[in-house]
Structure 1
Amino acid sequence: MPLLFSQNWLIKANSIYSTINSVCGVLAPIIGGFLYSFLKIQSILILNIFCLFIVIITNFFLTFSNKNIEESEKTLESTADKSNDLPKLIVVTGIIFNIGYGLTFSVTIPYLINKVFQIDSKIFGIIQSCFYIGMIFGASLFTLRVKNIALSYFSKIFYKLGGIFLLFSLPIFISLDLKFTTAIYIVAMLLFGIQASFFDVGLTSFIQKEIPQNLLGKYLGIFISSSKLFFLLSIFISGIIIDYLSYKSIFLIGASLFVITALLISIIAKKRLP
C-alpha cells in the first residue's frame, strides 16, 4: 500500500480497503449460500479460481513507485532513533487488542446470548451482524474524522473499548428486561465494530508510515503472526474461564486490560513528544 499511494492518500486508501473488505465479509456468505442453492460445488470452485485469476492479472498491471537505495537509507536513518522501540510497542498493542477481541467475540458473547440470556437465534444473527455493520460504518467514517495518526490516537481507542466492554457486562450484573438486554448488545456491537475498524485502519496506516519500507515486510509478518497466535490462545482461555471460573469476569478482564494499555500508551506518547 505505501508503494501504491502517497502519504496524503495512505489513510484514505486503507479506509477504502477496510470498507470493501467488511462489505465483502457480510455479502460473501449470502452470495455463497445463494449460488450453492442452484450450482454444484465444482462450479463454485471454478468461479473462485476465475476470480483469483482476475486478481492476479489486476496485480500484474499495478504500477509501483521506484525508490533508489539512497532514499531508503535516508528514510531508515531518519526514523531509526524515534522508532527504535516503536515496533515492539505496536506488536504489543496489536496482541492486546486481539486478546480482548478473542476473549469476548468468538466464545463469550455467543455463550451469553444463546445460553445465559437465551435470545432467539434470529436476533442473535442480527446482533452478530451489527459488528460488521459497525466496521463498515467505522471504515467509511475514518477518512472524515482522522487526518493524522499519532501514538495518542490508540490510547483513546483503548479507553473507548474499555467502556464498550463495561456496556457488554451491564446486563450480566444488572437484571434487565430481555428487550433492554438485546438493545444494549446491538448498540455495544455497533460501537465495538466502529472502534475495531478505527483500530485496524489506524494501526495499518501508522505502521506503513512509521516503519521503514525495507523492514516493512519482515515486520508485518512478525506482527500478524504474533497477533493471530494470541487471538487463538485467548479463545482457548475464554473457554477455560467460562467452564472453571465465571463468564462474568471476562468483560471485566478485557475492560481492565484495555484501560491499563490506554494509560501506558498515553505515558509513552507524552515521553515521545519533542
Structure 2
Amino acid sequence: MKTFFVKNKLPTIFLMFLFGNLASGTLTFMISWTVLRQTHQAAQFALLSTTSSLVMLISMPLIGIIVDKYNHKYLLLVAQGFSIFVLLIFILQPFHSLIVYIIFSIGLDLGDLLFSITMYASVKAISTDKTEMSKINGIEQGIGALFAIISPAVAGFILTFISVKKFSWVELICEGIVIFLVVQLSFKNAHTKNEENSGGKESKAVGPSYKKVLQVLRNKYLVLIIVSIMIVLNFLLGAINVGIPFVLNKNYQGNTMILGIVQLCFPLGIILSSFLVQKLPQIKLFKLLKISYFSCACVLFSFGIVLSFLMKQMIFAVGALALLMLLIGLGLGFSRIPMMTFAQNNIPENIQGRAFSIIDTSAQILSPLGLMFYGFLFDRLSGNWIYLCSAFLMFIVLLVGFYFVDRADKGNYIY
C-alpha cells in the first residue's frame, strides 16, 4: 500500500487537503451559528471570532519556531493528533456555554495553523521539481476556495438536523484519514538529515532568531518585494469584501440571492485559476505577476465605473459585478501559486516556518485593518469614488513595487 501512495503522490496530497477541509470549514460555521442562535447577541458572535483571531496572531511566531526546529512529518501528525484530542474533549464534556465554544474554536484553529504553516514549509521537501511544487500549491488553493463556497451552505443545512457535537464525530473521522495519508508521504529535508546525523535524536538547536530571519528575507530582495505587494493588495481588496455586500444591500433592499450570486464568483475565479495556471504556457514569473496584479487593479477601477453608471439597471449591474468578481478571483489565483512557489524555492528550508509565519502574521493584521478602514469609508463616502481611489492607490503600489523588481539583480534566485 505504501508503494501505491508513493507512486500517486499528487492524488494522495489532493485527498489529504480534501479530507482536511471537508468537515473543518463546515464545523467552523456551525460553531459560529450555534453561538449566534443560542445567545441572539452579535457581540457574543463577534467575541468568538475576535478571540480566536487574536490567539492565532499571538501564536504564529512560536509556531514558526516550532516548524523550523522539528521534523515536518511529525509536526503534521502532531497537528492532527492535537485536533483529535480537542474534538474528543469537546464531545465528552457536558457543557454548552460560550466559553466552551471559544476554547474549542481556539484549539481547532491552533491545530489547523500548525498544519498549514508546516505544509507551506514542506512543499519543497515533498516535491521532485518546481512543476510539482506548483501543482501542490494549486491543489491547496483550489480546495480551500471550493470549501469557502460550500461550507456555509452545508453548515446551515446540517445544523437543522444534528448538533455541533454530533458533527464533531465526522470531523474526527476526517482527521484520522488525514493522519493515515500524511504517514504515506515521504519528506526529504534538512530535519531528516539532522536526525540521521545525530543517530535519530531530534536536534535541540532553535536556529536563527527572528531578527536573523528578517535579515535573510531582506537579502532575498525580490521575495520580500513580491510578498509585500501581495500583503498591501490584501489590505486594498478590503474594498471588495466590505463594499460589495454593502452596496448590493443598499441598492437592492437586502436581496440575499443577488448577493450570493455575486459573492460566489470570487472563489469560483480562484478555483478556475488553480487548475488553469497549470495549463498555461511557461511565462516568466514577474511578467505573470505583473499581468495578474495590474488586472486586479483594472478590475477594481471597473467596480467604480459600474457603480457610477449601471446600478439603476439591476440585471446589467449584477451581471457586471459577478463578472468582475470572477476576474479578480482569477487574477489573485493566477498570482498566488507562482508567488508561493517562488518563495518556497528561495527561502532557506531551515527558516521557512518562521518566514511564512511572518508573512501570515502581516497578512492577518492588515486584512482586518483593511476591513475596518473600508467599513469606515463606505459609511461616509460614495462607493464609486472609494473604488476609483483604491484602484489609483493599487496602481501606485504596483508601479513602485515593480520599479524595484525590474531593477533588482535576478541572478541569485531559483525560478
For Structure 1 versus Structure 2, the TM-score category normalised by the shorter chain is 0.7 to 0.9
Q: Which residue of 1 aligns with 2:288?
A: 153
The alpha-carbon distance between structure 1 residues 211 and 152, as it changes in their structure 2 partners (threshold 3 A), is farther
Aligned CA RMSD, in angstroms, stands at: 2.4
The equivalent residue for 1:237 is 373
Q: Residue 141 of structure 2 contacts residue 274 of structure 2 at CA under 8 Å; is this kept in 1? A: yes
Do residues 56 (structure 1) and 179 (structure 2) align? yes
CA distance in 1, matches of 2:345, 2:366: 25
Residue in 2 aligned with 1:100?
Answer: 236
d(CA) in 2 for partners of 1:154, 1:254: 19
Alignment pair present for 1:120 and 2:242: no
| Aligned partner letter, 1:31 | V
C-alpha separation between the residues in 2 aligned to 1:163 and 1:110?
20
| Structure 1 length-normalised TM | 0.86
CA distance in 2, matches of 1:82, 1:128: 37
Letter in 1 for 2:136: A
Q: Does residue 148 of structure 2 align to residue 25 of structure 1?
A: yes
Q: Which residue of 2 aligns with 1:202?
A: 338
* Pairing 1:251–2:387 present: yes
Task: Tell me the distance in 2 between the aligned counterparts of 1:183 and 1:44.
Answer: 37
Q: State how far apart, in whole Å, the 2-side matches of 1:244 and 1:40 are.
A: 41
Answer yes or no: is the 8 Å Cα contact 1:152–1:265 preserved in 2: no
Deviates more, 1:5-14 or 1:21-30: 21-30
Q: Is 1:3 aligned to 2:139, yes or no?
A: no
- Residue in structure 2 matched with residue 41 of structure 1 by the alignment: 164
How many aligned residue pairs are there? 263
CA separation of 1:82 and 1:124: change in aligned 2, threshold 3 A: closer
Displacement after TM superposition at 1:52 (Å): 1.9
Looking at structure 2, the residues matched to 146 and 209 of structure 1 have their Cα atoms a distance apart, in angstroms, of 20
> What amino acid is aligned across from residue 134 of structure 1 in structure 2?
G
Distance in 1 of aligned mates of 2:294 and 2:267: 21
Higher Rg: 2
Higher relative contact order (CA 8 A, sep 6+): 1
Separation in structure 2 between the aligned mates of residue 4 and residue 59 of structure 1, nearest angstrom: 11
Query: Which whole-Å deviations, capped at 9, do the CAs of 1:20-62 have from their partners, x for residues lacking one?
Result: 2222222323333333232233211221122223223322332
Instruction: For residue 148 of structure 1, report the CA deviation from its aligned partner.
Output: 5.4
Name the TM-score, length of structure 2 as normaliser.
0.59
- For the structure 1 residues 271 and 82, does the alpha-carbon distance in structure 2 shift closer, same or farther, using more than 3 Å as the test? farther
Paired residues of 1:155 and 1:265 also in contact (CA < 8 A): no
Q: Output one character per residue of 1:148-195: Cα deviation in whole Å (capped at 9) or x when no partner.
A: 552343222221011101221112222551111111101101111111
Aligned residue for 2:126, secondary structure, equals coil
The match for 2:138 is 15
Deviation of 1:82 (Å) = 9.8
Q: Hey, what does 2:359 align to over in structure 1?
A: 223
Aligned residues of 2:220 and 2:347 also touching (Cα < 8 A): no
Please tell me whether the aligned partners of residues 274 and 334 of structure 2 are also in contact (alpha carbons under 8 angstroms). yes
Aligned partners of 2:304 and 2:388 also within 8 Å:
yes
Residue in structure 2 matched with residue 211 of structure 1 by the alignment: 347
What displacement does 1:94 show? 2.3
Q: Which moved more, 1:46-55 or 1:157-166?
A: 46-55
Q: Find the residue that maps to 1:38 and give its secondary structure.
A: coil
Distance 1:258 1:92 in 2: 13
Checking the alignment, whether the CA contact within 8 Å between 2:270 and 2:332 is kept in structure 1 is yes
Q: Point out the more displaced range, 82-91 or 19-28.
A: 82-91
Taking only the aligned residue pairs, the percentage that are identical comes to 24
> Could you tell which deviates more after superposition, 80-89 or 163-172?
80-89
Deviations, residues 170-228 of structure 1 (Å, cap 9, x unaligned):
12222551111111101101111111211222221121122121221111000011011
Aligned 8 A contact 1:104 1:250 in 2? no
**Aligned AA (1:264):** V
Assess, with a 3 A threshold, how the Cα gap between structure 1 residues 244 and 120 changes in structure 2: closer, same or farther. Answer: closer
Q: Distance between the aligned counterparts of 2:313 and 2:135, measured in 1?
A: 42
Partner secondary structure for residue 145 of structure 1: coil
- Could you tell me how far 1:232 is from its partner in structure 2? 0.5
1:149–1:206 CA contact under 8 A, matched in 2 = no
CA contact (8 A) 1:166 1:255 kept: yes
1:128 CA displacement: 0.8
The aligned amino acid for 2:153 is I
